[in-house]
Amino acid sequence: MSDHEISKAVVKRLPRYYRYLGDLMNAKVERISSNELSDLMNVTASQIRQDLNNFGGFGQQGYGYNVRYLYNEIGKILGLDKTYAMIIVGGGHLGQAIANYVKFEKRGFSIKGIFDINPELNGKLVRGIPIRMTDEMPGFLKENEIQIAALTLPKTGAEMVVPVLVENGVKAIWNFAHTDLHVPDDVVVENVHLSESLMQLSYDLNHRKV
Amino acid sequence: MSDHEISKAVVKRLPRYYRYLGDLMNAKVERISSNELSDLMNVTASQIRQDLNNFGGFGQQGYGYNVRYLYNEIGKILGLDKTYAMIIVGGGHLGQAIANYVKFEKRGFSIKGIFDINPELNGKLVRGIPIRMTDEMPGFLKENEIQIAALTLPKTGAEMVVPVLVENGVKAIWNFAHTDLHVPDDVVVENVHLSESLMQLSYDLNHRKV
């Protein structure tokens, strides 16, 4: 199956489909119609049919979608059929929250190291993973093939570590720092800007229906 | 100034303008042209002019935008000229990371309480704020006017606390739990689904230019 024609907008919606299909699988549901999925997900059935048509026309009229098949296909598109080696740069609360989140590990994102500049954190274990000092990071990256780095440290620190990560082969950055990182074309960045999300909430709160 | 005509797409971009304008203000920049801002933000100058035209045509040809004025206007649209009382439900690492993030406090989001069900956390201070037990939450909400609740607890817990929050006047939910919450029409929800963000990163990693 080729996926080159899947639009960015559809890709953005895939993780949500994946979550609902996973819940359905856990609830032992084998087939679901676009109308049922529409009720569940609060998306129009025609949107669902259009989106899922990208994975071949296997949702037949009056028959529905095969939940497990669709779940697996979407997983493959998202790259969840592989495993990834990941490090966390920034061993504060946010870094530790991510390191403790076992679901990521189950999905194939294996946390190999946590780094911080605070000597008080040196050697502290988070879910069995020791926090190392940031100056050990280049050596660590040379010895371990790491694809993904989560940046849970302040802006200035994040900007400083990016070149080190890139030089040492990291190809994907999950950026929680409040800055837009500059990376080469073959490195991808996904931003989680918490303060911008809180501003959206504040906007919505001030513009909600009363 | 009325803002009823600002589109959802523009609103989504406002926090990023706000961040760049804040950085410019800190760097003592008083005026900036759409071309300069375009280089800085990596957005076309015409997009910037279109977006900022929503706030009146005060960017004059050859003269540029007044940074502070624009920063303040966007802040008002986002509701950042007000203060909000907020609680955090879920006192684990993620909840503590948010409680420790002083920038939110500076922007007017004042954290009044942290709640958890784990008795070991009872009374623990996070940036001076004691963690309370979740069964004290209804009483706390009745005594304190709280507008925003951040949910940093697992899915099932999140679904259980939402009715309690809504009954007690909370109007905005910042949801980190991996579930779509069901709330009345006058309550707004902003989701931060970390695992979905990580899946986007994994997709991008597998579909990047090599």
Q: Report CB contact under 8 Å: A190, B204.
A: yes
* A115, β-bridge pairs: A89, A132
pLDDT of A9 reads 87
**B72 and B15 in contact (C-beta within 8 Å)?**
no
pLDDT of A1 reads 44
pLDDT of B28 reads 97
pLDDT of A5 reads 64
pLDDT of B59 reads 58
pLDDT of A199 reads 96
Positions of E strands within B18-142: 31-32, 65-66, 84-89, 109-116, 125-126, 129-133
pLDDT of B1 reads 44
pLDDT of B2 reads 47
Give chain B's residues under pLDDT 50.
1-3
> Predicted ipTM?
0.94
A11, A103, A186 ranked by CB distance to B203: nearest: A11
Return residues 164-183 of A near B (CB < 8 Å): 171-172, 174, 178, 180
CA distance B135 to chain A (A): 24
Best of A19, A94, A205, A207 to mutate (most B CBs within 10 Å, chain B): A205
Mean pLDDT of successive 10-residue stretches along chain A, which has 210 residues: 68 94 95 92 91 69 83 93 97 94 90 97 96 97 97 95 97 96 96 95 92
**A181 and A189 in contact (C-beta within 8 Å)?**
yes
Task: List all residues 6 or more positions away from B58 whose beta carbon is below 8 Å from its beta carbon.
Answer: B65, B66, B69, B70
Beta-carbon pairs below 8 A across chains A and B: 166
pLDDT of B79 reads 95
CA distance B117 to chain A (A): 17
Q: Report CB contact under 8 Å: B195, A15.
A: yes
